[in-house]
Amino acid sequence: MISLRPSGFDELGLRRALSDRMLPVLVGAMTFLAALAMAGWFGTAALARHWQQGAGASLTVQVPQATDPAASGGQTRLAAVLALLTGTPGVASAHALSDQELADLLKPWLGQGADRLAIPIPAVIAVRLTGTASDLAPLAHRLDDAAPGTLVEDHDRWIGRLAVLVRSLQACAGLALLLVAGVAASVIAVATRAGLSTRREAIEIVHGLGATDAYIAGRFAARATLLAAAGAAGGALVALPVLLALARLAAPFVGQPAGTAGDTLQDALGALPVALWLALPCLPVSAGAIGFATAHSAVRRWLRRLP
Amino acid sequence: MLRFEAVGLRYERSGVRTDASAGPEVLHDISFHLRPGAFRWLMGPSGAGKTSLLRLLYLAVRPTRGRLTLMGTDVATAPRRALPVLRRRIGVVFQDFRLLPHLSAFDNVALPLRIAGRPEGQIRADVGELLRWVGLSQHLDTRPAELSGGEQQRVAIARSVITRPALLLADEPTGNLDDGQAERLMQLFKEMNRIGTTVIVATHNEMLVERHPAPTLHIANGRLAASDGRDDGWVS
């Protein structure tokens, strides 16, 4: 026969000692913060990925004195460079920016009418590649031969800076998650110790009747696991609408049109990254695990004072 | 069954085991042994050390010196993890009952069996039968606070014998019982003793001892004054 202790059997009186109010609320609040930190982690990663893909597949070519004749003669330097670029394998398109586009680009720095200033402004060609940029040195050489002074700039430097920024933001999010887990563990440890002192007599009686440390610690751990997991589930549920709103705000930056996310419930739910959907249910599981481990070790340490 | 060899006990004042924190010795040089199936009265004036001796026997404390062997285990040197199994073979009736106030009479009596992991079906049958035997079949779901002193004591007694322990200890078990109930309890102890349980009963009740003569451990000032020399078992 299998021994099945009745499910409601609470020999240590833990339903009152570890109450279902304070602990779940505190763990729920921690989980809310953890969900925000996780959203920060996944959000920055998605933004970085999107920008990296965009920037990694493009080049900027600057041609000074664009209207001068090219070294080979016959055509302008700009036309020679454009012809070379379009004939290069791996180049999807090469588009020389018009004066208006160039003026728009420079407007933030030079103001309106930048084109009327007596500054020699090079022609700028936006090049889209079929894949990410590989070794650009041979291309740069050929362009320089055709039109000396031509500069080829990939966006490595900016991607590098962006990567550093993203890694820092992710480190902050990770640190926040660790802190939240640490605070949750402390809250559970304090609640467990309070429970131990209020149920001291019951524990001594049960211990005297031959209960092992594992038995007593297991009763506390089961209760702490239940309360922490329930609190965390509540916290994650409360965080969900906040995350959906943030995802909707972030949609234009990760390549989704601003209008689509949130028009229907399905769109709204789809705005969250899949990774976040997978990570959210992990919060109650992790909180339960933290509750179990913390309560178990706290009770076992306390029980060592008994013979 | 059990053997004391020059056992001494001192309580620690602060729970920290250092010489500075140690209190005075409450038991000195206790030496005696009991064979399985023995019965002993434990008598002595208040404060003589009866309760401390019982605490040693139900493993609430360990000896601070000497050697105590209980059911083949050296209690002073055994690892902590070895003690729960020993405790499950010891039944104790406390003077203050030590029932769990939030549990019903049934659950209080079932507790040792559940701790030992017995099947629930067997628990229901055994506990129901024993509570009927002690006259509490109407109070299975009643909590201790709603029971009289005598009823609480009977619950405590039922809890102590439900596992059919090898060693049964009782500290003033008849204090809250009328004469009829006390006699009934003695019959239970005798019956347990007859089927091989070693029984030690601490009491001030000389009338009870006279009605049920048996070898006696006398304790005074923390020393075992004398055993009356008779061998294990009942004196007819």
pLDDT tens digit sequence for A224-237: 999 999 999 999 99
What domains are defined for chain B? 1-89+170-236 (3.40.50.300), 92-164 (no CATH)
- Position A254 confidence tier, pLDDT thresholds 50, 70, 90: low
B59–A4 C-beta distance less than 8 A: no
CB-CB neighbors (< 8 A) of B15 in chain A:
305
Higher pLDDT pick, A38 / A270: A38
In this complex, the residue of B86, B115, B159 whose CB is nearest that of residue A215 is B115
Stronger pLDDT, B65 or B225, i.e. the higher one: B65
| Contact across the interface for A209 and B118, Cβ inside 8 Å | no
Q: What is the pLDDT of residues B157-196, one digit of tens each?
A: 999 999 999 999 999 888 777 888 888 889 889 999 999 9
pLDDT digits (tens, 9 = 90+) for B62-113: 999 999 999 999 999 999 999 999 999 999 999 889 999 999 999 999 999 9
Interface test with B, best of A7, A209, A300, A306 (most B CBs within 10 A): A209
Residue A21 touches chain B, beta carbons under 8 Å: no
Q: Give the one of A4, A6, A210 whose C-beta lies nearest to B87's C-beta.
A: A210
Q: What is the pLDDT of residues B109-131, one digit of tens each?
A: 999 999 999 999 999 999 999 99
Cross-chain CB nearest to A11 (options B15, B100, B120): B100
pLDDT at A5: 67
Confidence category of residue B228, pLDDT binned at 50, 70, 90: low
Distance CA A305, CA B60 (A): 11
Query: Nearest chain A Cα to B55, which residue?
Result: A208
Q: Chain-wide mean pLDDT for chain B?
A: 89
- Measure CB to CB from residue A13 to each of B15, B62, B102 and give the nearest one: B102
Tell me which chain A residues have a C-beta less than 8 angstroms from the C-beta of B70.
none
- Number of Cβ pairs closer than 8 Å across A and B? 67
Q: State the pLDDT at residue A45.
A: 84
Q: Do A209 and B80 touch (CB under 8 A)?
A: no
Task: Tell me the nearest-neighbour CA distance from B8 into chain A, angstroms.
Answer: 16
CB burial string A139-172: b at 16+ within 10 A, e below:
bbeebeebbeebebebbeeebeebeeebeebbee
Give pLDDT, residue A1.
Answer: 42
Q: What is the ipTM metric for this complex? A: 0.91
Residue A261 scores a pLDDT above 50: no
Which residue of B14, B62, B81, B87 to mutate against A (max A Cβ within 10 Å)? B87
pLDDT in tens, A192-225: 999 999 999 999 999 999 999 999 999 999 999 9
pLDDT at B236: 42
CB-based contact B115 A5, cutoff 8 Å: no
Confidence category of residue A36, pLDDT binned at 50, 70, 90 = very high
Q: Using CB atoms, which residue from B84, B86, B159 is nearest to A211? A: B84
Task: Give the tokens for residue A136.
Answer: 């650009």
Residue A263: predicted pLDDT: 58
Q: Are strands B167-171 and B198-202 parallel, antiparallel or unpaired?
A: parallel
Query: Which residue of chain B has the CA closest to A210?
Result: B84
CA nearest neighbour of A235 among A189, A172, A183? A183
In this predicted structure, what is the pLDDT of residue B226? 63
The predicted structure's pLDDT at residue B61: 94
pLDDT tens digits, A167-199: 899 999 999 999 999 999 999 999 999 999 999
Q: What residue segments make up the domains of chain A, in order of their start?
A: 14-53+159-303, 65-149
pLDDT of the residue at B200: 96
CA quadruple A118, A120, A121, A125: dihedral sign:
positive
What pLDDT does B131 receive? 94
A212 at interface of B, judged by CB pairs closer than 8 A: yes
Percent of chain B residues past pLDDT 70, beyond the cut? 92
Residue among B54, B13, B46, B12 nearest B30 (CA) = B54
**Beta pairing, strands B39-43 & B198-202:** parallel
Which has the minimum average pLDDT: A160-164, A188-192, B53-57?
A160-164
